[in-house]
Amino acid sequence: MSLSPLTDRLVEALSVLPGVGKKTAQRMALYLLEHNRKGGLQLAKQLNDAMDKVGHCTQCRIHSEEPVCRICRNRSRNQSLVCVVESPADALAVEQSGGFRGVYFVLMGHLSPLDGIGPEQLGISLLVGRVAKGDIKEIIVATNPTVEGEATAHYIADSLREFAVIVSRIAHGVPVGGELEYTDGGTLNHAFSGRKRLD
Amino acid sequence: MSLSPLTDRLVEALSVLPGVGKKTAQRMALYLLEHNRKGGLQLAKQLNDAMDKVGHCTQCRIHSEEPVCRICRNRSRNQSLVCVVESPADALAVEQSGGFRGVYFVLMGHLSPLDGIGPEQLGISLLVGRVAKGDIKEIIVATNPTVEGEATAHYIADSLREFAVIVSRIAHGVPVGGELEYTDGGTLNHAFSGRKRLD
């Protein structure tokens, strides 16, 4: 069933959002029509603006409507410390943790030869180029601890072997607030091999 | 933290959607930017169209971009049988059940004097006017089985007492597929008092 052609098309358009099925899209469309038309129009405007204008930072490949993003432009950040992540969402998570004051490099994926994603697609030559300039002291590889993420991390480390740059990998172990009882074996092994002396 | 001003504004605009918090809005914005810009632009267009053009049917108050909605215009439906519901979503639910071939009347709420919602706001005079014309044989009141829904149902029945129209209320009882063990007392009471003889 359908209410009206325009509403139907709105429901269909809303279904492109991740995690939004037909039923949720219907609820969203009716909510906007009944209670928040101004919000709906504002959303339309922001969507248009963002889809049209947001590109990628030429230095770190994060989403940005300017050639160089806010973070890469920010001189109060440590521009010689680069955190390599798989996606902008990962960069956002690191940023929201509040503990990192360097800059990012976003791969926009991980090595996955079967899907045709190689070093080219991940912009690794861009990263190597930045390191070659000599301004970067340390690269922290924060790809996900999955098979592909680990492979990508090792590839990056290999690519940077010839330069005088420290390449490090974030620690894997028991999450803070986690319980040993419910931690998987792989994580526990990482936690043991990465143990630190208590001083 | 934020990625870029335009992305931030998109995240904020997406947060107006029901059930979408900051984190989900971020995920949606990044998904659209990374994977589906065309879908994002399409969504913007449909939002603009719908928010601008969709109004209410002059006969049944359902959402429609035309003065009289699809259902009220459809001559293959029983125009003398009117189902009164609280919201377009309720009409959609009835419609999707597939068993009803009459038309609707949408109250857009229920009587709630404390919120300033009286018979005026629910368009009950419009409903009475339609009944007064004499084309309607039965009104099925399908407001929600809540205190306010019941009060609204009784108010409608009272308003139509002087006319030669049947006013009925949908049955309340144990949902199909439900279990008696987990059914609340109010529903069970309804189910018992509304029992039917097995022939």
Q: Using CB atoms and an 8 Å cut-off, which of residues 20-39 of chain B contact chain A?
A: 24, 26-34, 36-37, 39
**Within an 8 Å CB–CB cutoff, is residue B99 touching chain A?**
no
pLDDT at residue B23 tops 70: yes
The residue type of B196 is K
pLDDT score recorded for residue B20: 94
pLDDT tens digits for range A134-159: 889 999 999 998 999 999 999 999 99
Mutate which of A22, A30, A51 to disrupt the B interface (most B C-beta within 10 Å)? A51
Give the per-residue pLDDT at B56: 92
Tokens of A108: 């926009």
B64 close to A (CB below 8 A): yes
C-alpha dihedral (B97, B102, B103, B109), degrees to nearest 10: -50
pLDDT of residue B193: 85
Contact (CB<8Å) B50/A33: yes
Is A13's Cβ below 8 Å from some Cβ in B? yes
A29-35 average pLDDT score: 92
β-bridge mates for residue A103, sequence order:
A82
Cβ atoms within 10 A of the Cβ of B176, count? 5
Residue A132's H or E segment, with its range, is helix A124-132
Interface check A64 vs B, CB under 8 A = yes
Cβ-based neighbours of B80, under 8 Å, separated by 6 or more? B102, B135, B136, B137, B138
Which pLDDT belongs to residue A157? 93
pLDDT at B177 over 90: no
- Give the DSSP per-residue string, A42-95: HHHHHHHHHHHH-EE-TTT--EESSSS-HHHH-TTS-TTEEEEESSHHHHHHHH
Partner residue facing A10 (CB), from B16, B28, B47: B47
What integer pLDDT is reported at residue A109 of this predicted model? 92
Cα angle value A93/A99/A101 (rounded, 5°): 95
CA distance B116 to B133: 29
What pLDDT score does B126 carry? 92
Give ipTM to 2 decimals. 0.82
Average pLDDT over residues B130-139: 91
Lowest mean pLDDT among A24-28, A29-33, A53-57, A176-180: A176-180
Q: What percent of chain A has pLDDT over 70?
A: 99
pLDDT at A198: 83
Q: What's the mean per-residue pLDDT of chain A?
A: 91
List chain A residues with CB under 8 Å of B10.
Answer: 46-47, 49-50
Domains, chain A = 5-53 (1.10.8.420), 63-193 (3.40.1360.10)
Q: pTM here?
A: 0.80
